[in-house]
Amino acid sequence: MLICIPDVLGPEQVSQCRQVMDKAHWQDGRMTAGPQSASVKNNMQLPAASPEARELGDIVLDALGRNALFLSAALPLRILPPMFNRYGVGQTFGVHVDNAIRNVPGSATRIRTDLSCTLFLSEPDEYEGGELTIETAYGANEVKLPAGHAVLYPSTSLHCVQPVTSGARVASFFWIQSMIRDESPRSMLFELDQTIQELQGERGLDDPASVRLTGVYHNLIRHWAET
């Protein structure tokens, strides 16, 4: 399941993030990659422990906590603190799959990476190339979204960032451990929740069918959830 989430950040928040990033010190992105990923990774990242990364991460996490579509699709249990990368001309990240387990910086906590998320912070016309290409059962999907929009996809997917040929691509990226480990039931719960919201919009919150379906939704979460 690949889901594009519009307007995670508004224009003012994107502008605030960009101002912080413009003044920050960047490091070689390979410093946070494993041996296989490092061989195909060529970008820059904000150090995860830097004040700038922490400030920007708080902005992103606060926005995600208020985004109904993200919460419905991800059913998050834990979110790794957001990280931030930059691709200049000639930089790319070849085909790879994300690590199954990630350590939370500065703690002993580890999370299982069920879902990957990229939040775009550059407008598409600011750079050429740089598409996030995600392999799915139905073929490759190229994703290049407006600033403030995000894409959520399974961490099991092979994916890459195409070479940037002009300008610069900046984004936030992070991983989510969902309460629902398996993609299939998580997708069904998402579709059920979206259907319930449509019915409530058409018939009102007290519609008997919506109430019954809401009960089914929560009982399925009780059955499948890991907490």
Binding residues for 2-oxoglutarate: 169
- Angstrom distance (rounded) from CA 188 to CA 156: 18
Q: Which residue ranges make up the annotated binding site for Fe cation? A: 96, 98, 159
Q: Which residue ranges make up the annotated binding site? A: 96, 98, 159, 169
